[in-house]
């Protein structure tokens, strides 16, 4: 083997589809995933032959093509312009964006949007419910999440989620994407920290330090040293899916594999984990293991 071959990413071409082939000593099965960007990934055990990998992939080629098609269709959606009326996800729901004046906090479009949107109570109440559920996890002290529940989020910067809608100050509109990404990441850290604190005793582990980041093709991971990483994008999905990934990674602190004892550990905390796992895969087709 040429030394360079080890560093170069391995690919596997099957008909018209080029896969990134990833080998892992910890893997016992072959898995296929469609990351948000880049080629589909086929993950295989370290010593899996290319012929075996190709045979496995060939059987799933129709699924891969369909998922790539879905991904392309999503990519063709027009990019956000961060204008009033656009919708943004959070915790499994979509919230309307309203661009507000910088000092008064409200201007013309705000009132128009309010009327067009229907009763505030509905969405506002629903959001408050979610936040309360997070607080029930026994998060100590006064957290930013708690501040959000009491409507103090206006101190939070040019973007906030209040009364069932995102509010972005007009002067920040040009940097809308950066503000949303920063907001998501910060809020996701609050939510993930709270859910890890909630589930750790149920799994029977000490709450580990977590790294909240953006991962290429995974929602979460757990290193051999017990470092848990979680994707901030989890907080945009249905809360039940975030909980599944949190529990999955926490159980890895006890069982660093996917053998039956691992899944029994997940099931003891989330009896319906299979359904959640399926939904997570269906929604994103990203590899969660």
Nearest approach in angstroms of CB 69 to Zn ion is 27
SS3 category, 131 = helix
Per rule CB under 5 A, is residue 161 in the interface with Zn ion? no
Nearest approach in angstroms of CB 13 to Zn ion is 28
User: CB-wise, 98 or 210, nearer to Zn ion?
Assistant: 210
User: CB-wise, 98 or 289, nearer to Zn ion?
Assistant: 289
Say if CB 221 and CB 235 are below 8 A apart: no
Nearest approach in angstroms of CB 248 to Zn ion is 5
Nearest approach in angstroms of CB 139 to Zn ion is 26
Helix (H) / strand (E) element for 148: namely helix 144-149
Q: What angle do CA 192, 249, 272 make, to 5 degrees?
A: 90
Query: In whole angstroms, what is the distance from residue 33 CA to residue 53 CA?
Result: 13
Query: In whole angstroms, what is the distance from residue 111 CA to residue 126 CA?
Result: 21
Task: Build a one-symbol-per-residue string for 250-289: x at contacts with Zn ion by CB under 5 A, - elsewhere.
Answer: ---------------------------------------x
Query: In whole angstroms, what is the distance from residue 288 CA to residue 70 CA?
Result: 19
User: CB-wise, 153 or 287, nearer to Zn ion?
Assistant: 287
- The Cβ of residue 99 has, within 10 Å, a number of other Cβ atoms equal to 22
Under rule CB under 5 A, which residues in 20-49 are in contact with Zn ion? none
Nearest approach in angstroms of CB 51 to Zn ion is 27
SS3 category, 110 = helix
Name the residue whose CB lies closest to Zn ion. Answer: 289
User: CB-wise, 48 or 250, nearer to Zn ion?
Assistant: 250
Structure tokens at 21: 């082939």
Structure tokens at 265: 């550990």
User: CB-wise, 67 or 218, nearer to Zn ion?
Assistant: 218
Nearest approach in angstroms of CB 159 to Zn ion is 33
Contact residues: Zn ion, CB under 5 A: 289
């Amino acid at each position: 083997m040429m030394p360079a071959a080890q560093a170069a990413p391995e690919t596997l071409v099957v008909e018209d589809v080029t896969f990134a082939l990833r080998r892992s000593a910890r893997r016992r099965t072959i898995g296929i995933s469609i990351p948000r960007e880049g080629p589909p990934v086929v993950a295989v055990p370290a010593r899996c032959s290319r012929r075996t990998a190709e045979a496995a992939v060939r059987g799933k080629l129709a699924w891969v093509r369909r998922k790539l098609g879905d991904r392309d269709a999503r990519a063709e959606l027009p990019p956000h312009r961060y204008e009033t009326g656009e919708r943004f996800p959070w915790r499994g729901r979509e919230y309307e964006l309203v661009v507000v004046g910088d000092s008064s906090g409200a201007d013309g479009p705000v009132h128009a949007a309010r009327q067009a949107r229907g009763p505030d109570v509905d969405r506002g109440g629903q959001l408050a419910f979610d936040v309360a559920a997070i607080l029930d996890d026994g998060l100590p002290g006064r957290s930013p999440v708690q501040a959000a529940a009491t409507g103090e989020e206006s101190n939070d910067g040019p973007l906030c989620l209040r009364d069932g809608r995102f509010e972005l100050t007009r002067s920040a509109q040009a940097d809308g994407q950066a503000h949303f990404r920063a907001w998501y990441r910060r809020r996701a850290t609050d939510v993930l920290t709270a859910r890890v604190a909630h589930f750790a005793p149920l799994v029977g582990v000490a709450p580990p330090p977590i790294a909240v980041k953006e991962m290429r093709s995974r929602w979460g991971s757990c290193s051999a040293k017990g470092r848990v990483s979680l994707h901030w994008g989890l907080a945009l999905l249905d809360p039940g899916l975030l909980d599944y990934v949190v529990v999955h990674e926490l159980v890895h602190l006890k069982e660093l594999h996917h053998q039956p004892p691992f899944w029994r550990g997940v099931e003891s905390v989330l009896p319906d984990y299979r359904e959640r796992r399926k939904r997570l895969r269906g929604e994103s087709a990203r590899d969660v293991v």
